[in-house]
Amino acid sequence: MDGEAQDSTFVVREVVEVDDRLVSAMARLIPQLSSSSPPPDAGALAPIVDSGASILLVAEDPTVEGESAILGSMTLVVFRIPTGLRAWIEDVVVDGSARGRGVGEALNRAAIDWARAAGATTVDLTSRPSREAANRLYRRLGFEQRATNVYRLDL
């Protein structure tokens, strides 16, 4: 896959280099996703961007300069386990000013295309029930809610 998906107002691309613009955009976006996690600095973003297992995707408005051009982001993780190649979508966030423009859908479609091209057999994600619009989007894209328990151990 060439790493880009586009509509008339924004482009989805893989981040291949960490720069000040990305760090500033993440400082704006991550608080909209999580109040308990600090925004990543360049040192935290570099291992994500440099990893062979994770793909950081951003949606950008090419008509806007600077960090405000980045409308949203997500991370796709592709990993091999004994039952096959799998993919997981994490940390999907769209700036409040860009919601309703199809940014989240474009990011998810790009991630699905990327996972398919890599040979993944499934793509998983989680979403809080309170994120009603996001859950509607995931169902519309073909995701099915699984009857499973999600457990977390804080370390």
Dihedrals phi, psi of 97, to nearest 5 degrees:
-75, -15
pLDDT for the residue 3: 47
Instruction: Write out pLDDT tens, residues 107-133.
Output: 999 999 999 999 999 999 999 899 899
Instruction: Write out pLDDT tens, residues 51-62.
Output: 999 999 999 999
What domains appear along the chain, each with residue ranges and CATH number?
4-140 (3.40.630.30)
Q: Is the pLDDT of residue 100 over 70?
A: yes
Q: Which residues, 6+ apart, have CB-to-CB distance to 110 below 8 Å?
A: 4, 5, 12, 57
Dihedrals phi, psi of 80, to nearest 5 degrees:
-100, 135
Q: Do 100 and 5 meet the contact criterion of CB atoms below 8 Å apart?
A: no
Give whole-number Cα distances, 73 to 56, 79, 82, 148, in Å: 7, 20, 29, 27
pTM score, whole prediction: 0.90
pLDDT for the residue 152: 86
Identity at 3, one-letter amino acid code:
G
